[in-house]
Amino acid sequence: MEYRELSNGVRMPAIGYGVFQVPNDETARCVREALEVGYRLIDTAQAYGNEAGVGEAVRASGIDRDEIFVTSKVWVANMNYERAKASIDASLEAMCLDHIDLMLLHQAYGDYHGAWRAMEEAYRAGKLRAIGVSNFYPVRLADMCAFAEIAPMVDQVETNVYCQQVEAHANMESLGVLQEAWGPFAEGMNGFFADPTLTAIGAKYGKTPAQVTLRWLMDRGIVPLPKSTHRERMEQNLDVFDFALDDEDRAAIAAMDTKAPVVWDHRSLEVGRNLLGMIAEHQLGGAKLY
Protein backbone atom coordinates (compact mmCIF):
# COMPACT_ATOMS: atom_id res chain seq x y z
CA MET A 1 0.00 0.00 0.00
CA GLU A 2 1.16 3.51 -0.83
CA TYR A 3 0.50 6.34 1.60
CA ARG A 4 -0.02 10.10 1.52
CA GLU A 5 1.10 12.39 4.34
CA LEU A 6 -1.32 15.03 5.58
CA SER A 7 -0.24 18.49 6.70
CA ASN A 8 -0.21 17.37 10.35
CA GLY A 9 2.08 14.41 9.60
CA VAL A 10 -0.64 11.73 9.73
CA ARG A 11 -0.25 9.13 6.99
CA MET A 12 -3.31 7.90 5.11
CA PRO A 13 -3.56 5.15 2.49
CA ALA A 14 -3.35 6.30 -1.12
CA ILE A 15 -6.59 4.52 -2.04
CA GLY A 16 -9.69 3.80 0.02
CA TYR A 17 -12.96 1.91 0.05
CA GLY A 18 -16.21 3.90 0.10
CA VAL A 19 -19.55 2.70 1.45
CA PHE A 20 -21.93 5.31 0.04
CA GLN A 21 -25.36 3.73 -0.65
CA VAL A 22 -24.36 0.42 0.94
CA PRO A 23 -27.20 -0.66 3.29
CA ASN A 24 -26.12 -0.93 6.92
CA ASP A 25 -26.99 -4.64 7.01
CA GLU A 26 -24.59 -5.21 4.11
CA THR A 27 -21.87 -2.84 5.24
CA ALA A 28 -20.16 -5.09 7.78
CA ARG A 29 -19.75 -7.84 5.18
CA CYS A 30 -18.51 -5.43 2.50
CA VAL A 31 -16.01 -3.71 4.79
CA ARG A 32 -14.81 -7.06 6.12
CA GLU A 33 -14.09 -8.23 2.58
CA ALA A 34 -12.47 -4.92 1.66
CA LEU A 35 -10.12 -5.25 4.62
CA GLU A 36 -9.40 -8.88 3.75
CA VAL A 37 -8.33 -7.99 0.19
CA GLY A 38 -6.04 -5.24 1.46
CA TYR A 39 -7.90 -1.92 1.83
CA ARG A 40 -6.91 0.05 4.91
CA LEU A 41 -8.92 3.26 4.36
CA ILE A 42 -12.69 3.00 4.91
CA ASP A 43 -14.86 6.02 4.07
CA THR A 44 -18.35 6.47 5.54
CA ALA A 45 -20.55 9.36 6.71
CA GLN A 46 -23.33 10.13 9.15
CA ALA A 47 -25.70 10.57 6.20
CA TYR A 48 -24.95 7.10 4.83
CA GLY A 49 -26.63 5.43 7.80
CA ASN A 50 -24.00 2.68 7.96
CA GLU A 51 -21.41 3.84 10.49
CA ALA A 52 -22.42 0.97 12.79
CA GLY A 53 -21.64 -1.59 10.09
CA VAL A 54 -18.25 -0.01 9.46
CA GLY A 55 -17.37 -0.10 13.14
CA GLU A 56 -18.50 -3.71 13.47
CA ALA A 57 -16.24 -4.80 10.61
CA VAL A 58 -13.25 -2.83 11.87
CA ARG A 59 -13.55 -4.22 15.38
CA ALA A 60 -14.02 -7.81 14.17
CA SER A 61 -11.25 -7.70 11.56
CA GLY A 62 -8.40 -8.79 13.83
CA ILE A 63 -6.30 -6.05 12.22
CA ASP A 64 -4.49 -3.64 14.52
CA ARG A 65 -6.65 -0.53 14.84
CA ASP A 66 -3.64 1.68 14.03
CA GLU A 67 -3.48 0.06 10.58
CA ILE A 68 -7.06 1.00 9.62
CA PHE A 69 -7.88 4.56 8.62
CA VAL A 70 -11.57 5.33 9.24
CA THR A 71 -13.23 8.44 7.78
CA SER A 72 -16.68 9.82 8.54
CA LYS A 73 -18.47 13.12 7.84
CA VAL A 74 -20.64 15.60 9.74
CA TRP A 75 -23.97 15.93 7.89
CA VAL A 76 -25.62 19.25 7.00
CA ALA A 77 -28.31 18.82 9.68
CA ASN A 78 -25.48 19.06 12.23
CA MET A 79 -23.80 22.08 10.70
CA ASN A 80 -23.32 24.31 13.74
CA TYR A 81 -21.12 24.14 16.82
CA GLU A 82 -23.45 22.33 19.23
CA ARG A 83 -24.88 19.86 16.74
CA ALA A 84 -21.50 19.06 15.20
CA LYS A 85 -19.97 18.50 18.63
CA ALA A 86 -22.74 16.09 19.61
CA SER A 87 -22.69 14.35 16.23
CA ILE A 88 -18.96 13.60 16.44
CA ASP A 89 -19.54 11.80 19.73
CA ALA A 90 -22.55 10.04 18.18
CA SER A 91 -20.40 8.80 15.30
CA LEU A 92 -17.80 7.47 17.71
CA GLU A 93 -20.56 5.73 19.67
CA ALA A 94 -22.17 4.29 16.54
CA MET A 95 -18.88 2.75 15.44
CA CYS A 96 -17.78 1.84 19.00
CA LEU A 97 -14.37 3.37 18.30
CA ASP A 98 -12.26 5.54 20.59
CA HIS A 99 -11.14 7.77 17.70
CA ILE A 100 -11.92 8.53 14.08
CA ASP A 101 -8.91 8.95 11.82
CA LEU A 102 -10.44 11.63 9.60
CA MET A 103 -13.64 13.62 10.09
CA LEU A 104 -14.96 15.87 7.34
CA LEU A 105 -17.67 18.52 7.13
CA HIS A 106 -19.87 16.97 4.46
CA GLN A 107 -21.09 20.15 2.72
CA ALA A 108 -20.35 23.88 2.69
CA TYR A 109 -23.82 24.86 3.93
CA GLY A 110 -25.13 26.21 7.23
CA ASP A 111 -22.85 27.41 10.00
CA TYR A 112 -19.86 25.44 8.83
CA HIS A 113 -17.47 27.77 10.67
CA GLY A 114 -19.24 26.94 13.92
CA ALA A 115 -19.14 23.24 13.08
CA TRP A 116 -15.44 23.59 12.34
CA ARG A 117 -14.80 24.87 15.89
CA ALA A 118 -16.32 21.64 17.18
CA MET A 119 -14.05 19.70 14.84
CA GLU A 120 -11.00 21.56 16.12
CA GLU A 121 -11.97 20.81 19.73
CA ALA A 122 -12.44 17.10 18.99
CA TYR A 123 -9.10 17.06 17.16
CA ARG A 124 -7.29 18.63 20.12
CA ALA A 125 -9.02 16.16 22.45
CA GLY A 126 -7.67 13.21 20.43
CA LYS A 127 -11.09 12.05 19.24
CA LEU A 128 -10.09 12.85 15.64
CA ARG A 129 -6.61 12.28 14.19
CA ALA A 130 -7.23 14.59 11.23
CA ILE A 131 -9.98 16.97 10.10
CA GLY A 132 -11.09 18.24 6.73
CA VAL A 133 -14.00 19.09 4.47
CA SER A 134 -15.99 17.58 1.63
CA ASN A 135 -17.58 19.26 -1.40
CA PHE A 136 -15.94 22.59 -0.57
CA TYR A 137 -15.26 24.31 -3.88
CA PRO A 138 -12.18 26.58 -4.15
CA VAL A 139 -13.60 29.80 -2.69
CA ARG A 140 -15.22 27.96 0.24
CA LEU A 141 -12.02 26.04 0.94
CA ALA A 142 -9.99 29.28 0.84
CA ASP A 143 -12.51 30.85 3.22
CA MET A 144 -12.14 27.99 5.69
CA CYS A 145 -8.34 27.98 5.50
CA ALA A 146 -8.23 31.75 6.02
CA PHE A 147 -10.27 31.79 9.24
CA ALA A 148 -9.74 28.40 10.88
CA GLU A 149 -7.29 27.99 13.75
CA ILE A 150 -6.46 24.55 12.34
CA ALA A 151 -6.68 24.48 8.56
CA PRO A 152 -8.44 21.59 6.80
CA MET A 153 -6.12 18.75 5.90
CA VAL A 154 -8.35 17.13 3.25
CA ASP A 155 -11.04 18.18 0.76
CA GLN A 156 -13.10 15.36 -0.74
CA VAL A 157 -14.76 16.35 -4.02
CA GLU A 158 -16.21 14.64 -7.07
CA THR A 159 -13.21 13.84 -9.27
CA ASN A 160 -13.17 11.60 -12.33
CA VAL A 161 -12.08 11.70 -15.96
CA TYR A 162 -15.05 13.88 -16.90
CA CYS A 163 -14.75 16.22 -13.92
CA GLN A 164 -11.01 16.48 -13.36
CA GLN A 165 -10.99 19.42 -10.91
CA VAL A 166 -7.73 20.83 -12.29
CA GLU A 167 -8.16 24.32 -10.82
CA ALA A 168 -9.52 22.99 -7.54
CA HIS A 169 -6.56 20.62 -7.28
CA ALA A 170 -4.09 23.46 -7.83
CA ASN A 171 -5.88 25.49 -5.15
CA MET A 172 -5.68 22.58 -2.69
CA GLU A 173 -1.99 22.10 -3.35
CA SER A 174 -1.34 25.81 -2.74
CA LEU A 175 -3.20 25.55 0.59
CA GLY A 176 -1.52 22.31 1.69
CA VAL A 177 -4.79 20.36 1.48
CA LEU A 178 -4.85 16.77 0.20
CA GLN A 179 -7.56 15.94 -2.36
CA GLU A 180 -9.77 12.87 -2.13
CA ALA A 181 -11.96 11.73 -5.03
CA TRP A 182 -15.52 10.58 -4.53
CA GLY A 183 -17.27 9.23 -7.61
CA PRO A 184 -14.00 8.19 -9.31
CA PHE A 185 -16.00 6.09 -11.77
CA ALA A 186 -18.58 8.86 -12.35
CA GLU A 187 -21.13 6.37 -10.99
CA GLY A 188 -21.11 4.74 -14.42
CA MET A 189 -22.33 7.84 -16.22
CA ASN A 190 -21.27 8.73 -19.78
CA GLY A 191 -20.73 5.02 -20.47
CA PHE A 192 -17.68 5.11 -18.19
CA PHE A 193 -17.05 1.36 -17.94
CA ALA A 194 -16.95 0.99 -21.73
CA ASP A 195 -15.35 4.35 -22.51
CA PRO A 196 -13.27 3.90 -25.69
CA THR A 197 -10.39 6.09 -24.54
CA LEU A 198 -10.02 4.34 -21.20
CA THR A 199 -10.56 0.92 -22.82
CA ALA A 200 -7.78 1.58 -25.33
CA ILE A 201 -5.38 2.72 -22.63
CA GLY A 202 -6.27 -0.26 -20.47
CA ALA A 203 -5.61 -2.68 -23.33
CA LYS A 204 -1.96 -1.59 -23.33
CA TYR A 205 -1.53 -2.78 -19.76
CA GLY A 206 -4.14 -5.49 -19.39
CA LYS A 207 -6.23 -3.24 -17.16
CA THR A 208 -9.86 -2.12 -17.01
CA PRO A 209 -11.12 1.46 -17.46
CA ALA A 210 -11.67 1.56 -13.70
CA GLN A 211 -8.08 0.53 -12.97
CA VAL A 212 -6.72 3.07 -15.46
CA THR A 213 -8.74 5.82 -13.78
CA LEU A 214 -7.59 4.88 -10.29
CA ARG A 215 -3.94 4.87 -11.40
CA TRP A 216 -4.41 8.25 -13.09
CA LEU A 217 -5.92 9.77 -9.93
CA MET A 218 -3.20 8.35 -7.69
CA ASP A 219 -0.50 9.65 -10.05
CA ARG A 220 -1.96 13.14 -9.54
CA GLY A 221 -1.59 12.74 -5.77
CA ILE A 222 -5.36 12.32 -5.33
CA VAL A 223 -6.77 9.60 -3.04
CA PRO A 224 -9.63 7.78 -4.85
CA LEU A 225 -12.50 6.09 -3.00
CA PRO A 226 -13.93 3.37 -5.25
CA LYS A 227 -16.97 1.39 -4.12
CA SER A 228 -18.12 -2.08 -4.96
CA THR A 229 -20.16 -4.68 -3.09
CA HIS A 230 -18.46 -7.50 -5.03
CA ARG A 231 -15.23 -8.96 -3.70
CA GLU A 232 -13.80 -9.62 -7.18
CA ARG A 233 -14.18 -5.95 -8.13
CA MET A 234 -12.74 -4.86 -4.78
CA GLU A 235 -9.65 -6.88 -5.66
CA GLN A 236 -9.50 -5.43 -9.18
CA ASN A 237 -9.79 -1.88 -7.89
CA LEU A 238 -6.85 -2.47 -5.57
CA ASP A 239 -4.72 -4.04 -8.32
CA VAL A 240 -3.32 -0.74 -9.58
CA PHE A 241 0.23 -0.72 -8.24
CA ASP A 242 1.93 -2.69 -11.02
CA PHE A 243 1.70 -0.35 -14.02
CA ALA A 244 2.35 3.29 -14.93
CA LEU A 245 0.64 5.57 -17.43
CA ASP A 246 2.76 7.36 -20.02
CA ASP A 247 2.52 10.94 -21.28
CA GLU A 248 0.34 9.89 -24.20
CA ASP A 249 -2.13 8.21 -21.83
CA ARG A 250 -2.29 11.24 -19.57
CA ALA A 251 -2.84 13.60 -22.52
CA ALA A 252 -5.70 11.43 -23.81
CA ILE A 253 -7.36 11.44 -20.39
CA ALA A 254 -6.85 15.19 -19.98
CA ALA A 255 -8.82 15.72 -23.21
CA MET A 256 -11.84 13.99 -21.62
CA ASP A 257 -12.40 16.76 -19.07
CA THR A 258 -15.79 18.49 -19.33
CA LYS A 259 -14.85 20.84 -16.46
CA ALA A 260 -18.21 20.22 -14.80
CA PRO A 261 -19.63 17.71 -12.28
CA VAL A 262 -21.39 14.74 -13.82
CA VAL A 263 -22.75 13.08 -10.67
CA TRP A 264 -24.00 15.91 -8.44
CA ASP A 265 -23.38 19.62 -8.92
CA HIS A 266 -23.15 21.19 -5.46
CA ARG A 267 -23.07 24.64 -7.07
CA SER A 268 -26.54 24.27 -8.61
CA LEU A 269 -29.49 26.17 -7.15
CA GLU A 270 -31.63 23.01 -6.92
CA VAL A 271 -29.02 21.11 -4.91
CA GLY A 272 -28.38 24.13 -2.71
CA ARG A 273 -32.07 24.58 -1.96
CA ASN A 274 -32.45 20.91 -1.03
CA LEU A 275 -29.51 21.01 1.36
CA LEU A 276 -30.57 24.31 2.91
CA GLY A 277 -34.05 22.88 3.37
CA MET A 278 -32.59 19.96 5.32
CA ILE A 279 -30.72 22.36 7.60
CA ALA A 280 -33.83 24.46 8.19
CA GLU A 281 -36.00 21.42 8.91
CA HIS A 282 -33.62 20.21 11.62
CA GLN A 283 -32.44 23.49 13.12
CA LEU A 284 -35.40 25.85 12.80
CA GLY A 285 -38.11 23.78 14.41
CA GLY A 286 -39.34 22.23 11.20
CA ALA A 287 -39.50 25.47 9.19
CA LYS A 288 -38.36 25.16 5.58
CA LEU A 289 -36.57 27.83 3.61
CA TYR A 290 -38.11 26.79 0.27
Provide the residue-wise pLDDT of the chain in tens; the chain has 290 residues: 899 999 999 999 999 999 999 988 899 999 999 999 999 999 999 999 999 999 999 999 999 999 999 999 999 999 999 999 999 999 999 999 999 999 999 999 889 999 999 999 999 999 999 999 999 999 999 999 999 999 999 999 999 999 999 999 999 999 999 999 999 999 999 999 999 999 999 999 999 999 999 999 999 999 999 999 999 999 999 999 999 999 999 999 999 999 999 987 777 677 667 766 666 665 555 433 32
Residue 229 belongs to a domain: yes
Would you give the end-to-end CA distance of the chain in angstroms?
Answer: 47
Work out how many domains the chain is built from and give that number.
1
State the pTM of this model. Answer: 0.93
Residue 28 lies in a domain: yes
pLDDT the model gives residue 265: 76
Q: Is 253 part of a structural domain of the chain? A: yes
Kindly report the CATH number assigned to the domain that includes residue 67: 3.20.20.100
Catalytic annotation, pick one of 17, 39, 48, 109: 48
Ramachandran sector of residue 169 (left: φ over 0; alpha: ψ -120 to 50; beta: rest): alpha
Give domain status of residue 288, yes or no. no
Domain membership flag for residue 265: yes
What is the residue range of 119's domain? 3-283
Cα dihedral sign, 156-159-177-110: negative
pLDDT at 267: 72
pLDDT of residue 194: 97
Rounded to an integer, what distance in angstroms lies between the CA atom of residue 198 and that of residue 202?
A: 6
pLDDT, residue 263, reads: 85
Nearest of 107, 100, 125, 123 to residue 12 by alpha carbon: 100
Active site residue 109: no
Report how far residue 136's alpha carbon sits from residue 275's, in angstroms, rounded to the nearest whole number: 14
Q: What's the confidence (pLDDT) of residue 280?
A: 60
Residue 289 in any domain: the answer is: no
Q: Is 248 helix (H, G, I), strand (E, B) or coil?
A: helix
Q: SS3 string of 141-164?
A: HHHHHHHCCCCCCEEEEECCCCCC
> Does residue 261 sit within a domain?
yes
Residue 32 lies in a domain: yes
* Residue 290, pLDDT score: 29
- Position 278 scores a pLDDT of 62
pLDDT at 92: 98
